[in-house]
């Protein structure tokens, strides 16, 4: 049973990349652009953005799944909520901390995957097509590797 719960958590985490891509492309860049726009055009000195409201939107299903996943006893919904939570933590660390450096942690990471991830997201902000978060088209990793070799 434990292996099944771990599998559910892991599959949910992986599936969240697709959910992220879809909601970013069709919802954040669609009818909820009013919340997402300040992320693409932040004001200098702005600590919080309207875009941060998406935290509450995406946390709600996870919280509900935790609640129904322990009521009346522990069940699979808890582990779906856990997968969503883990993806949310990864998203925060990658997007807000590493890519946009809203906090001064993780600023010296030099691994080609992470540098490629930063490039892919940067391309999104300049009109690119990268709407996901953790899956990075290989061309961005390759560019990061090539630039790292030039610096060494």
Q: Specify the residue for token string 């935790």.
A: 66
CA distance 59 to 96: 16
Q: Containing domain of residue 108, as a range?
A: 2-41+48-151
CA distance 132 to 99: 13
pLDDT in tens, 94-125: 888 888 888 888 777 788 888 898 888 888 88
Counting the structural domains of the chain, the total is: 1
pLDDT in tens, 33-49: 999 998 888 887 778 88
Give me the DSSP letters along 10-28: HHHHHHHHHHHHHIIIIII
130's tokens? 């990268």
E runs forming strands in the chain: none
Question: Which pLDDT belongs to residue 152?
Answer: 43
Whole-model pTM: value is: 0.88
């Amino acid at each position: 049973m434990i292996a099944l719960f771990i599998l559910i958590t892991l599959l949910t985490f992986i599936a969240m990349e697709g959910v992220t891509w879809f909601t970013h492309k069709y919802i954040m860049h669609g009818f909820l652009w009013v919340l997402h726009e300040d992320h693409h055009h932040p004001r200098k000195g702005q600590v919080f953005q309207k875009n941060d409201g998406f935290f509450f939107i995406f946390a709600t299903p996870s919280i509900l799944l935790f609640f129904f996943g322990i009521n009346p006893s522990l069940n699979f919904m808890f582990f779906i909520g856990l997968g969503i939570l883990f993806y949310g933590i990864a998203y925060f660390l990658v997007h807000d901390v590493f890519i946009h450096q809203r906090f001064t942690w993780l600023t010296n990471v030099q691994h080609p995957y992470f540098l490629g991830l930063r490039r892919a997201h940067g391309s999104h902000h300049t009109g690119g097509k990268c709407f996901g978060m953790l899956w990075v088209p290989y061309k961005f990793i390759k560019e990061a590797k090539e630039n790292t070799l030039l610096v060494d």
